[in-house]
Amino acid sequence: MKIKQKDILNCLLMNGMMLFLIIMNIVASDMIFRVVLKLNFWEIQAYAYDKCLGLAIGALIWLPWGYQLKKYLVMAFSFLYQALSFYLLMKVQNDIFLILMMNDLGNFIFQVGSFVAIFAMTVLCLVAGNKYFKNIKLPKILSLAAIILWIGSSCFYQGIHDYLQRDYEASKEKRHPGYVEIYRHSLDDYEVIEKLGLFRYEQTLIENYRFSLNAHKISAEDLAEAQEFLETYKNDDEDNEYTGLFTGKNLIMILCESLDDSIVNEQLMPNVYYLTQHGLNFADHYAPLLKNHTSDSEFISQTGMYPSQQFGSTYMNFANNSYPYSLGNLFKDEGYATKAFHSFYEYFYNRDVMYDALGIEKFYGARELGLEVDKNDLTGLNGFYEDKALIEDMFEVTELDEPFYNLILSLSGHSSYRVTRPDIQEKLAALEEIPEYSTYPEEAKCYIAAQMLFDDAVGYLLDRLDEEGILEDTVICLFADHYPYGMADEEAMEMIVDDSTPYSENKVISLIYNSAIEAQTINETTSTFDLYPTLANMFGLNISEAYTVGSDIFSDSERFVLFGNGDVLNDDYYYSSGDDMIYERDMTPADEVDDAFVQDMKDAKNILEHAQDVLRGDLYKR
């Protein structure tokens, strides 16, 4: 039998389509598990299972088209048909959410009109008579038109993503990323699908999967250097007057979402201000603002380690690593109950998986607490579940007569800061009665109002601990994850954030409070990296085998701030990696630099070069 060239091409096309369909079925079935069923399957074994389910789904989807199209087109259109079935579930939410983010009614009308017009033209073109579709009835023509529209709209959303990326890069020059940052880093399936469409979701999924496969591939040479780094930077802080001061006491550690220290005063936030005046207040404290923002700050506070930057999110790609020296694991070894609380869902930042590795025995998120949280509203357009209510829930599930470590992630202070948020209306009205703040830009007032809600939660926490008779036996540590980069209005941002120097915007609140200790303000430069070794020392936890980027704040060890862009700051100098210059703290060029800062820069370089390889090699497990 003679084999025609056409048959060979058809065969190749069929095989190519089959391979392509298998890949996309993996994506589709993964969406079922991770988006619809809200399960996390990142292991290779799970993907093998997904593949089998995906093929079954694909076989069912072939049926509507299989008898009417030429065989080598069946698989191409069955893939599109399948993709459409998932895409349509998200389409309406996607459009509305994107338009709300852009806050442009005219753009909304334009998009709706364009959608209808393009759909109508697509249907007319198909009806006009392509030979491949002459026997297809109108319902399938309509579905095929929708498929074609899906392709175009996905490209459109990719264009928006690219535009916002450029907007972000441009806004970095002003050092105020604004809400476009939300589009730049997305670690949640709902967020990608609802904002950028299924096409972008597939890209993100493949990117993350590639990261997860490559993240742990490390050469023998890099592994050896990482091991040497681990040994070199093991914590060697010496004991001091605070060593073991809080042994046996409870610890409540609160990550304060986007809380800038500029608004912490007696008038706006009396409860947080009280803690700064009656506790250990770190007055020159900085958040490093790394790539994954909140989750990176959270990881740093719990481990003292440098998080992944070039190999995807630590919480996504290194959640199965061993972290024996995390606060959760150390407290658990001491017989503490360890819990975490956050009024959003567990899949966001992969927290349910990561917390297990960090020694958190139970995570109480929206699902566990039975909260009615809009999973589609990731920026608080409809308000958040207030932090005070979250604290109330914490007391309901915490055994107060046993030692406990509770990690709380606040949410009231999260963007967006819009006047339509229902949860901040009472606080906005109160601000109007304060002349000093009544003239602030709208977004600045909304930001302050949101943080006032968090302050109410802190006040309730103090009152409730006192009522339960455990205030003296409980330590509270507050720290902010980053400055409020989620503000879109530059004028509003300038009213809140100090941008007088390249590093000052990252200055945030941090403190440790216990009713039995003497108040003190620490003016030396500190960062989130220093909290872990400081708390470990105060609670008498042994971290001599743990490597730490920071140092115990009350030790004689040298400390410096390492920012995400490679800049370095200490009490006297600032190194700018952008222009490779060393400055005094007032940004005048430094004529002479002491040996201590030269060593800080060397340490920073070593950390940037080797710290991530500790994660890639999972060296604590070896």
Statement to judge: residues 328 and 457 lie in one domain: yes
33 Cβ neighbours under 8 A, 6+ residues apart: 39, 41, 46, 50
* Residue 444 included in any domain: yes
pLDDT at 6: 55
pLDDT beyond 60 at 499: yes
Residues 178-196 as b or e (16 or more Cβ within 10 Å = b): bbbbbbeebbbbbbbbbbb
Residue 616: helix, strand or coil by DSSP? helix
- pLDDT at residue 282 is higher than 60: yes
- Flag whether 225 is in a domain: no
Token pair in block for residue 189: 């399936």
One domain for residues 159 and 300: no
Q: Can you say whether residue 359 is alpha, beta or left, with left for phi > 0 and alpha for psi between -120 and 50 degrees?
A: left
Write the CB contacts of 153 (distance below 8 Å, at least 6 apart in sequence): 91, 115, 197
Distance (Å, whole) CA 96 – CA 93: 5
CATH of the domain at 434: 3.40.720.10
Instruction: Classify residue 15 by burial, with Cβ atoms within 10 Å: 0-12, 13-18, 19+.
Output: exposed
Q: Are residues 206 and 282 both part of a single domain?
A: no
- Residue range 284-339, pLDDT digits in tens: 999 997 877 899 999 999 999 999 988 878 988 898 899 999 999 999 999 999 99
Residue 25 domain-assigned? yes
Q: What are phi and psi of 619, to 5 degrees?
A: -70, -25
Does residue 138 form part of some domain? Answer: yes
C-alpha–C-alpha distance, residues 7 and 613, integer Å: 50
- Print the domain residue range for 105: 5-214
Q: Are residue 270 and residue 190 in the same domain, yes or no?
A: no
The answer on 166 and 19 residing in a single domain is yes
Q: Of the candidates 585, 582, 547, 556, which has an alpha carbon nearest to the alpha carbon of residue 567?
A: 582
Asked if residue 247 belongs to a domain, the reply is no
378: pLDDT confidence band, cut at 50, 70 and 90? very low
**Residue 459 predicted with pLDDT over 80:** yes
Same structural domain, 170 and 258: no
The answer to whether residues 206 and 259 belong to one domain is: no
- Report the pLDDT value the prediction gives residue 385, as an integer from 0 to 100: 80
Look at the alpha carbons of 156, 159, 161, 164 in this order and tell me if their dihedral is positive or negative: negative
- Please check whether residues 210 and 258 belong to one and the same domain: no
Average pLDDT, the chain: 76
Among 156, 185, 214, give the residue marking a domain's end: 214
Residue 295 lies in a domain: yes
> Do 38 and 162 belong together in one domain?
yes
As a whole number, mean pLDDT of residues 380-391 equals 76
572 found inside a domain: no
pLDDT of 181 higher than 70: no
- Which residues have CB under 8 Å from 425's CB, separation 6+? none
CB-based burial label for 332 (10 Å; 0-12, 13-18, 19+): middle
Report d(CA 311, CA 525) in Å as an integer.
29
Tell me whether residue 566 is in a domain: no
* Same domain for 356 and 260: yes
pLDDT at residue number 65: 42
Residues 38 and 183 in one domain: yes
Who's near 63: CB < 8 A, 6+ residues apart? none
The pLDDT tens digits for 220-236 are: 999 999 999 999 999 99
**Terminal Cα-to-Cα distance of the chain (whole angstroms):** 61
Judged by average pLDDT, the poorest of 187-196, 225-234, 316-325, 364-373 is: 187-196
Which residue would you say has higher pLDDT here, 68 or 434? 434
Looking at the fold, whether 463 and 389 belong to one and the same domain comes out as yes
Q: Strand pairing partners for 520?
A: 280
What pTM did the predictor assign?
0.71
What are the structure tokens assigned to 31, written together? Answer: 């969406």
Q: Domain count of the chain?
A: 2
